[in-house]
Amino acid sequence: LPGDRDQPISVSADKASFNEKTGTALYSGNIVIQQGTIRIAADELVVTTDAKGTVITAVARGNPATFEQKTRPEYGPAVAEAQEVIYQAVEGFLTFNGKAKLKQEGASFQGASISYSLERGEIEAKGDKQNRVQLVFPPPPRESRISKKLGDSAP
């Protein structure tokens, strides 16, 4: 949801280590990250912050790491999974790397890497030699389809 990005990020994990010089925190074991309706589950998480402690990036890894976010109330949650989920907090961008899959509002995307803008809900999928991009869009609902015969002119 639009307000997600302004919520605090909460992290729970089995253990962590924090580098007091660089401000980097490495979490490991049963990690759950939540921010508003966003929920990411992973095995390992690295959070980097600037000198003032503001989050710059959060990189979650898992087999796979999973992502879920409520988009618009009338749709089900957007769900995704990948070996690596990179969250750029300032830009509000999520990048799913490694066997990336994303389902949102009935459409599904699959590729080597998928980028997802939390602000605009835009999705960009990239393939590579092994994983070509696959997109699947659901047909429009029956009632909004126009029943036409071949040769009929447009309404």
Partner 1 sequence: MDIRNVVSLSAGFLLLGAVGYYWGGFGKSPLSVAHVSATGLPDYEVTGIEGVRTNQSGQVVELFSAQSIRHYPESDRSEIRRPVMRFFEDGNERWELRAAQAVGLNDNRNISLNGKVQAETLGEGQSVSLETDMLEVDRDEQVLRTDSAVAIRSGNNILDSLGLHVDIRGRILELPAQVRGIYVLPSH
For the bound state, the minimum distance from the C-beta of residue 16 to partner 1, rounded and expressed in Å, comes to: 4
C-beta separation of 118 from 143 below 8 A: no
d(CA 16, CA 6): 25
**Nearest residue (CB) to partner 1, 30 versus 63:** 30
**Nearest residue (CB) to partner 1, 21 versus 142:** 21
Chain residues binding partner 1 by CB under 8 A are 5-23, 25, 27, 47, 49, 51-55, 89-90, 92, 119
Q: Verify cis geometry, omega within 30 degrees of 0, for the bond prior to 64.
A: yes
Residue entry with tokens 């769900």: 79
d(CA 152, CA 27): 62
For the bound state, the minimum distance from the C-beta of residue 46 to partner 1, rounded and expressed in Å, comes to: 12
**Nearest residue (CB) to partner 1, 33 versus 80:** 33
For the bound state, the minimum distance from the C-beta of residue 112 to partner 1, rounded and expressed in Å, comes to: 29
For the bound state, the minimum distance from the C-beta of residue 62 to partner 1, rounded and expressed in Å, comes to: 17
Which among 102, 99, 86 has a CA at the least distance from the CA of 137?
102
